[in-house]
Structure 1
Amino acid sequence: MKQTKQSNWIKWRWPILIILLLGLYFTPLPYYYSQPGDALVLDDVISVDGASEEAGGSFMLTTIRMGKANPIFYAWAQFSPYRILHPESQLRFEDETDEEYQHRQLMMMTDSQEVAKIVAYEQANKEVSYEYFGVLVTVLIEGMPAIEVLEQGDRIQQVNGESIRTADELIDRLTGYEKGDNVTLTIEREGELMEVTVGFSHFPEEMNAPSDRVGIGIQAPVTDREVTFNPDVHIDTSQIGGPSAGLMFSLEIYDQLTDGNLTKGYLVAGTGTIREDGTVGRIGGAAQKVVAADRAGADYFLAPFEDGADDSNYNEAVLAAEDIGTDMEIIPINRFEEAIEFLESL
């Protein structure tokens, strides 16, 4: 009898084990899991009409891989500082679907690409033409004042009677207020102009904003405009989302617009958002992107310096580089012009 039971266990152990593993794999947890992704060569995905190809060297976009966590990924994350768990509330809005989240990420990537083109073309003194339609409201934050008076799809035209054209201008105009203050917004809704008054409040705790920061409660506003470039430029990044490739997009486009080879034959990776004034901004996952760049053999990694902030992406990247023992050099960057100056000095 004992031998029969043992034989039955041997017979069924693999199917049972497979069923258990499948059960664990398909059990969702309220976390997202991320790990180092890839370093993509940008001259494979960006092309400027009429640009000549220069031999040697490349700019690289660095990514992280992210997905919903399950018990297997949760356990796996405990064995490396570069496999990270993110509470779902830090990344997703309440009741936001997977499709809505992906759409928001792709919208931010699209906006990042446009700004990157503008920065590169203006720096290279190439032709850029604009037609502005306002700042598009895309996300309203639950529990904050804007959700009471604004709707998704509204176009903000003025703040306190002063015209705005870009999302950056809107953010700047809404800075410096305190809780309880009010502003008057002129908006376009379904073809009609109207004025609304909106107040300021603190951000929800789950957004992890600084305790003294206030806002009206809109997130990821988009500059609604038509921009044309001469010569034309094409970017194909498939399903990569988010705004963190702005700096590297700008550098690749600028390199194709100008004479010479800005990389000087080196593999230059990096990360950072880009604003139209050339400011390079903070991103998430800098340490993971250092790992991705090192695996791809990069010589340099450009990281947002954030004017020397103690918790800057640059400092995070330096610590990661030291930890993995890479020979790749980490370069602090505050502005697009600084990146150009560094590369020209190679």
Structure 2
Amino acid sequence: MKSKWFKRSLMLGVILAIVLNFVTLPYYVTRPGDAQVLAPLVEVEGGYENKGKFMLTTVKMGKANIFTYALAKVSDYQTIFPINQIRSEDETDEEYSYRQLHMMESSKETAIKVAYEKAGKKVDLITKGVYVFSVKEGLAAEGKLKIGDRITKVDGEDTTTAEALIDKVNSKKIGDKIELIFDRDDRQESAMITLGEHPEDPNRPGIGISLMTDYTIEMDPDISINTSQIGGPSAGLMFSLEIYNQLVKEDIAKGYEIAGTGAMNENGKVQRIGGIAQKIVAADNSGVEIFFAPNENGREGSNYQEAMKAAKDINTDMKIVPVDTFDEAIAYLEALDPK
């Protein structure tokens, strides 16, 4: 009798665990990923091969269930985020993935521009318009624009960058109308939008969308970068270093395994990213020797300071290097003794 009761209880427990595993909570959990060597992902036509390795670091993220949520609560380098801190309430998982992949595409194009210019190679970054990455519920653009639209004109004038569109909106007042020309599904369409309050500042006009400039790039020699499984902009610095290393004869990594993180703009400035403590853990677990971290001009609470705190906590021998620009990273490597 006791044996039957035990077996039934065990079976019910297993079924309950399986069910709970598939029931997601309104949270995401992030944890350290790994450090991935970039050379197999980046191929410059006729580029040089090198002994040193540049690596990007990743953070793994997934929707929380009761088990992953509980584990993250007691883990030092797992972080819990409410869904609305990762994506907007009206944004689907597919839309979020779309946004992350396009951010990676923009990051690659910027990385190519910076590296090719530094190496003295031919490169031209051309702006094609502005992508819509989210449309806020209840705000001016709802029902008129959607994710994936590429805005090309504002009030009849060509609009090639997100900054230009924002400047145009800021030059108007709440209640003014603005005409947008945009491409959708290979068709050109238009929308007249009445500007409302900006969601973060009720005294400013706003459309209620998030934007990113759509770039295309021409370069010589040709290059291919395979990032089909990687999203977001945070690998910009490391892509630039790997591309530059293949463009120049010298092995600028000098035999070391070098990782790092940082988004980068087209002027070569290294910008703040999220999850750097988890990336420090990922890099240390992968045997990285040197790690570049955004310095943010030394401001309090910078990525570099967060990285140093994590490095001290896990007692790593990895060298953490602060950088504000791509040129600073190159200067550090040029002064580095070969391994």
TM-score (normalised: structure 2)? 0.86
Give the aligned partner of residue 305 of structure 2: 315
Residue identity (%): 49
- For 1:79 and 1:34, how far apart are their aligned partners in 2? 13
What letter corresponds to residue 87 of structure 1 in structure 2? P
Q: Is 1:116 the counterpart of 2:111 in the alignment?
A: yes
1:154-176: per-residue Cα shift (whole Å, max 9, x none)?
544467887553345556x4798
1:134-192: per-residue Cα shift (whole Å, max 9, x none)?
22323222344444765555544467887553345556x47988995979676445546
Give the aligned partner of residue 28 of structure 1: 24
Instruction: Show structure 1 runs of 5+ residues with no match.
Output: 204-209
Once the two structures are TM-superposed, the CA of residue 130 in structure 1 deviates from its matched residue by 4.7
What is the DSSP-based 3-state SS (H/G/I as helix, E as strand, rest coil) of the residue aligned with 1:60? strand
Q: Is 1:95 the counterpart of 2:90 in the alignment?
A: yes
User: Which shows bigger deviation, 176-185 or 308-317?
Assistant: 176-185
RMSD of aligned residue pairs (Cα, Å): 3.0
Once the two structures are TM-superposed, the CA of residue 288 in structure 1 deviates from its matched residue by 0.3
Give the aligned partner of residue 262 of structure 1: 252
- For 1:77 and 1:339, how far apart are their aligned partners in 2? 34
1:212-248: per-residue Cα shift (whole Å, max 9, x none)?
998643214232x432221111111231111111111
1:258-308: per-residue Cα shift (whole Å, max 9, x none)?
120111111111111111111111111110000000001111111111122
Once the two structures are TM-superposed, the CA of residue 16 in structure 1 deviates from its matched residue by 2.7
Contact kept, 8 Å, 2:292 with 2:322, in 1: the verdict is: yes
Q: Which has the higher strand share?
A: 2
Give the length in aligned residue pairs: 333
Give the aligned partner of residue 14 of structure 1: 10
- For 1:20 and 1:175, how far apart are their aligned partners in 2? 53
Instruction: Show structure 2 runs of 5+ residues with no match.
Output: none
Contact kept, 8 Å, 1:157 with 1:188, in 2: the verdict is: yes
Which of 29, 37, 49 does residue 33 from structure 2 map onto? 37
What letter corresponds to residue 217 of structure 1 in structure 2? G
What is the DSSP-based 3-state SS (H/G/I as helix, E as strand, rest coil) of the residue aligned with 1:43? coil
- For 2:15 and 2:257, how far apart are their aligned partners in 1? 45
What letter corresponds to residue 279 of structure 1 in structure 2? K
Once the two structures are TM-superposed, the CA of residue 114 in structure 1 deviates from its matched residue by 1.4
Q: Is 1:249 the counterpart of 2:239 in the alignment?
A: yes
- For 2:111 and 2:317, how far apart are their aligned partners in 1? 29
Give the aligned partner of residue 53 of structure 2: 58
- For 1:213 and 1:73, how far apart are their aligned partners in 2? 41
TM-score (normalised: structure 1)? 0.85
1:310-343: per-residue Cα shift (whole Å, max 9, x none)?
1211111111111111111211111111111111
